[in-house]
Structure 1
Amino acid sequence: MTETQISDREFWDARYRESERIWSGEPNAALVREVTGLTPGRALDVGCGEGGDAIWLARQGWQVTAVDVSRVALDRAAGHAADAGVADRIDWQRHTLGETFPEGTFDLVSSHFLHTLGELPREEVLRTAAGAVAPGGTLLIVGHSGMPPWETDAHPDVHLPGPEEVLADLRLAEGEWEVLVCAEHERHQIAPDGQPAVRTDNTVKARRL
């Protein structure tokens, strides 16, 4: 394990310790939009945070493996799952992605906002995630298209790709996948100054043939 990756774990543990809840607890809207109607099976949530997506999937009948680098986040998520009555449907696993990855294949592999200020090999991790999709299964990747409008000069070394770049970086084998969605969408949120803002995100969704 490298020093940078240890720092990533420490960074995210410290980030989650800042508050009893960092995220809303609700599932990402893109997940609900793209997964509703799929037949529940085995799902993998890559970068699950406090568990909002994993818990929603479990409530829909999925058997979920949920992965994050932060033990603080995973422990918190497990508590939320117990409160929601779906603890028996979710396997919480701590992984330093890029080093280790859950075993097996899944009917749905979902990754939402897998971004960090550290040295996460995001493209490599997402290619590994694609490899974990079972035949007939679905890959769903949602991320930010560029920095938010209130941080135009912040973190110049952080690259947030658009959907076409995400799709190209996946290197999906020709003839083995059907690309269902490759597009940007806007999301309304409140900026740190309390004012409403619009963030541009992107979705890549593909089905393994």
Structure 2
Amino acid sequence: MAELTVLQGPAAALRIDNLDTDQIMPKQFLRGIDKAGLAQGLLYDLRFDAQGRARPDFVLNQPAHADSSILIAGANFGCGSSREHAVWGLQQYGIRAVLAPSFGEIFYSNAMNNGLLALMLPVDAITALMAWAEGAPDGGPAAEVSIALNDSVVRAGGLEVPFDMSARHRRMVMEGLDVIGLSMTYQPQIEAFAAAHAARSPWLVDVAARVRARIGEGPATPSWG
């Protein structure tokens, strides 16, 4: 995950409330054992008809929005099941941020933990941003949205919309950290706590290894001292 202070890109309006994770990433695309190939499945039943032909009226199939990296979406985006594949599919397709009035709680956590920016904005602001995105002429330049993380402002044309974000999520996005990376920034404190805990309660250190050694299944390899 790369460090980020401003995210800017072409935007598309997705005027669907309660878009759930089954619609974002249908079940038939969950058969793999890794994260690969999920871009094809993103919003599949909205992008394609029963014969697999692209629906020309769907926003991401329109030339003006084909390369959109920011989605402006309806309320309760990402509700439904907890499949993380919905986030991975959005990212593989090229979506870097979703702006919506509200999100499914688990989707929001999955998005922010994987580096997909999910911002909650007031309904009137989302309505105005959707109108801006839909104003891009067919064959003309796409409507761009800029998200300034330092200033906590979304900008599009003459619109300026402030947003809130937790300090933890802001740091993760700006420093390019996932949850493991964020945890590792506290490694000195973690090691200090572990050493102090071992000193206070040495009988708890590597109990499993000591038991295995005692019954002859392996060497005792305590981590401390």
Q: Provide TM-score, normalisation by structure 2.
A: 0.28
Structure with the higher fraction of residues in helix conformation: 2
Structure with the higher fraction of residues in strand conformation: 1
Q: Which has the higher contact order (CA 8 A, sep 6+)?
A: 2
Structure exhibiting the larger radius of gyration computed from Cα positions: 2
Q: Provide TM-score, normalisation by structure 1.
A: 0.30
